[in-house]
Amino acid sequence: MDIIVQKFGGTSVATEELRKKVASKVVATKESGKNPIVVVSAIGRRGDKYATDTLVNMATSVYDGDNARDLDIIMSVGEIISSVILSNTIKAMGYEAQAVTGFQAGIITDNHFGDADVLKVDNKYLMDLLNKGIIPVVAGFQGVTETGEITTLGRGGSDTTAAILGEALQAKCVEIYTDVDGVMTADPRVVTKARVIDEIDYEEIYQMADEGAKVVHPRAVAVAKRSNIPMKVKNTLNESKGTIIIQKNHYLRKFRKSLEEDNVIRAIAHKNNISQVSVYFNDNMEDNDILMNNLTKFQVSIDLINFFTDKKVFTIDNKDLDKVKNIMGKNKFEYSIIENCSKVTAIGHKIRGIPGVMGKIVKALSHSGIKILQSSDSHTTISCLIKEEHIEKAVNALHAEFNLDK
123 closest CA partner among 83, 156, 161: 161
78 closest CA partner among 139, 12, 16, 21: 139
Residue 376 pairs in a beta bridge with: 383
Residues 7 to 66: which contact Mg ion by CB under 5 A? 9
Residue 346 interacts with which of Mg ion, ligand ADP, none, CB < 5 to 8 Å by class: none
* Nearer to Mg ion among residue 9 and residue 166 (C-beta): 9
387 closest CA partner among 346, 340, 320: 340
Smallest gap from Cβ 209 to Mg ion, in A, equals: 10
Instruction: Decide if residue 145 touches ligand ADP (CB under 6 A).
Output: no
Instruction: Decide if residue 140 touches ligand ADP (CB under 6 A).
Output: no
Residue 184 interacts with which of Mg ion, ligand ADP, none, CB < 5 to 8 Å by class: ligand ADP
Smallest gap from Cβ 9 to Mg ion, in A, equals: 5
What is the distance between the alpha carbons of residues 250 and 246, in angstroms, rounded to a whole number? Answer: 12
Residues 21 to 50: which contact ligand ADP by CB under 6 A? 41
Instruction: Decide if residue 52 touches ligand ADP (CB under 6 A).
Output: no
* Nearer to ligand ADP among residue 12 and residue 315 (C-beta): 12
Q: Note whether 136 and 115 are within 8 A (CB).
A: no
Q: Is 238 exposed, middle or buried (0-12, 13-18, 19+ CB in 10 A)?
A: exposed
Residue 160 interacts with which of Mg ion, ligand ADP, none, CB < 5 to 8 Å by class: none
Residue 137 pairs in a beta bridge with: 38, 99
Determine the 3-state secondary structure of 397 from DSSP.
Answer: helix
The size of the interface with ligand ADP (CB under 6 A), counted in residues, is: 19
Smallest gap from Cβ 221 to ligand ADP, in A, equals: 13
Kindly write out the interface string for residues 169-198 of this chain, putting x where it contacts ligand ADP by CB under 6 A and - elsewhere: ---------xxx--xx-xxxx---------
Residues 207 to 266: which contact ligand ADP by CB under 6 A? 208, 213-215
Instruction: Decide if residue 11 touches ligand ADP (CB under 6 A).
Output: yes
Smallest gap from Cβ 42 to ligand ADP, in A, equals: 9
* Nearer to Mg ion among residue 220 and residue 291 (C-beta): 220
Question: Which range of residues in 2-10, 97-105, 260-268, 322-330 is near Mg ion by CB under 5 A?
Answer: 2-10
Instruction: Decide if residue 105 touches ligand ADP (CB under 6 A).
Output: no
Give 196's DSSP letter.
B
What is the distance between the alpha carbons of residues 366 and 361, in angstroms, rounded to a whole number? Answer: 8
Alpha helices in 32-123 (DSSP H): 52-60, 68-75, 77-92
267 closest CA partner among 210, 192, 187: 187
Instruction: Decide if residue 405 touches ligand ADP (CB under 6 A).
Output: no
Residue 106 interacts with which of ligand ADP, Mg ion, none, CB < 5 to 8 Å by class: none
* Nearer to Mg ion among residue 136 and residue 140 (C-beta): 140
Residue 178 Cα to chain centre, angstroms: 13
Beta-carbon contacts of 336 under 8 Å, excluding residues fewer than 6 positions away, are 277, 278, 280
Q: Note whether 177 and 242 are within 8 A (CB).
A: no
β-strand 3-8 against 35-40: which pairing, if any?
parallel
Smallest gap from Cβ 176 to Mg ion, in A, equals: 8
Beta-carbon contacts of 306 under 8 Å, excluding residues fewer than 6 positions away, are 312, 313, 314, 374
Q: Which residues bind Mg ion (CB under 5 A)?
A: 9
Q: Which residues bind ligand ADP (CB under 6 A)?
A: 9-12, 41, 178-180, 183-184, 186-189, 208, 213-215, 267
